[in-house]
Amino acid sequence: MVHASSIALGILCGPLVCVYVTFAACFCPSRLRQSGESDEKKRFERRQKMAPRPLVLHRQRALSIPLPDTECMNEGRKTLDQSQSRLMRLPLELREMIYRNVLGDNTLHMILKEQKLGHLRCKASNALECPLRYNGRTLGRESCWGPVDSANIWAPKSGINEPTDGNIIPFLRTCRQVYSEAINFLYSTNVFSFQDLDCLRHFSATVLPKRFNLVKKLDIEWYMTWPIYDPTAQQLLLNNPALYPPYDEATWEETWRIIANLPSLKFLRVSLLYYDGFQDPACEKKILAPLYKVTQAPVFEVRVSWDGREITGAPFRLIRPVPNDPTADDDSW
């Protein structure tokens, strides 16, 4: 009798087990490796180790011009008179035009480095012409971003010594007066481009709030990892946690809280890629819900890689793929 019950149970449960194994093997093969640490955990631990340290707010900046009542506290620093400089003899309006030409009106691709951030000037004439590619885990513009390792940390090939400051930092370090007069143009006139949510979060934590609040233009590209906002599928993965940052719901929502608090934001473009379309519109609704908090940007565009219904009442313009578009490239989405 017991033997017969076991056979019957096997007949009933066998197909379910096969479906689960097949589904996991197709869409998430790494989840089937239960022995040892998962690749996701290793990548998360490396990213934590390499994360930039948050800015110390109550520290006098080395490039800041000391105030008169703090000169005695900064005896180790000297601010020299720059009246002999031809640049400083120009009217402030002309100097500001020069600063903007040197520092601004570019797209800066923000990258994660070892315990710090870097930025690369986009090599295209504008952000729309920068080629978009998917490298297997994240969205990337290889022609501008350069190579990254499995943890999305910038990793140039042997023999390549490409600077990651966009050739901007040396100019700002020429003298304190140039820094004080020019630094605002760096944040207020450039498009800051991100392909990693942690990179944006670190950026907000490693610059002065008054500088970060000057940012007017953001361009974000992000690969949505399965099964975000799908608790049933997360339980099937048998991992704890099911999703590691920055691919989890908490990081996604925190990113949009940061963006929603940018007072000067004028332009925001978001490109989201998912390995497949959403069968359940409720999942899409949860993913897009944090974006509704961003109401200050006059231009707010969200491009997604999946089909679905039109939405109304959103503070952004949702752009879905055009079906059977003969002008679309094979790699476009």
CA distances from 72 to 77, 80, 110, 280 (A): 10, 16, 38, 65
- Three-state SS at 118: strand
Confidence of residue 325 (pLDDT cuts 50, 70, 90): low
Average pLDDT, the chain: 79
Distance CA 109, CA 204 (A): 15
Residue 103, phi then psi, degrees to nearest 5:
-105, -25
CA atoms within 13 A on the CB side of 239: 23
For the ranges 35-44, 68-77, 132-141, 180-189, the one whose mean pLDDT is highest = 180-189
What element of type H or E holds 268? strand 267-274
CA distances from 224 to 143, 247, 278, 287 (A): 22, 7, 11, 9
Distance CA 224, CA 286 (A): 13
The per-residue pLDDT for 143 is 59
Q: How many helices (H) and strands (E) does the chain have?
A: 12, 9
Percent of the chain at pLDDT exceeding 70: 69
What is the DSSP code string of 56-95? -TTS--TTSPPPGGGGGGGTT------TT-HHHHS-HHHH
Q: Which amino acid is at 63?
A: L
Does residue 69 belong to any structural domain of this protein? no
Does residue 208 belong to any structural domain of this protein? yes
Judged against a pLDDT cut of 60, whether residue 114 lies above it is answered with yes
Does residue 23 belong to any structural domain of this protein? no
The lowest-confidence range among 54-63, 132-141, 167-176, 218-227 is 132-141
According to DSSP, the β-strands at 116-121 and 133-134 are unpaired
- Assigned token pair, 31: 């989840």
Does residue 313 belong to any structural domain of this protein? yes
The per-residue pLDDT for 240 is 85
Confidence of residue 329 (pLDDT cuts 50, 70, 90): very low
The per-residue pLDDT for 307 is 87
Give pLDDT tens digits for 201-258: 999 999 999 999 999 999 999 988 888 998 888 888 888 898 999 999 999 999 999 9
Residue 156, phi then psi, degrees to nearest 5:
-65, 150
Q: What is the mean pLDDT of residues 88-100?
A: 94
Give pLDDT tens digits for 4-32: 444 444 455 445 545 544 554 444 444 44
The lowest-confidence range among 101-110, 163-172, 285-294 is 163-172
How many domains is the chain built from? 1
Judged against a pLDDT cut of 70, whether residue 316 lies above it is answered with yes
The overall longest dimension of the chain from CA atoms, in Å, is 102
For the ranges 64-78, 154-168, 295-309, the one whose mean pLDDT is highest = 295-309
User: In this predicted model, which residue has the larger pLDDT, 34 or 38?
Assistant: 38
Does residue 283 belong to any structural domain of this protein? yes
Confidence of residue 127 (pLDDT cuts 50, 70, 90): low
Does residue 267 belong to any structural domain of this protein? yes
Does residue 218 belong to any structural domain of this protein? yes
The lowest-confidence range among 50-54, 172-176, 248-252, 254-258 is 172-176
The lowest-confidence range among 10-19, 154-163, 252-261, 262-271 is 10-19
Does residue 96 belong to any structural domain of this protein? yes
- Assigned token pair, 122: 């986009």
Whether residue 66 contacts residue 74, with contact meaning beta carbons closer than 8 Å, is answered with: yes
Q: Where in the sequence is the domain holding 280, given as residue range(s)?
A: 38-52+83-319
Judged against a pLDDT cut of 60, whether residue 154 lies above it is answered with yes
- Three-state SS at 30: helix
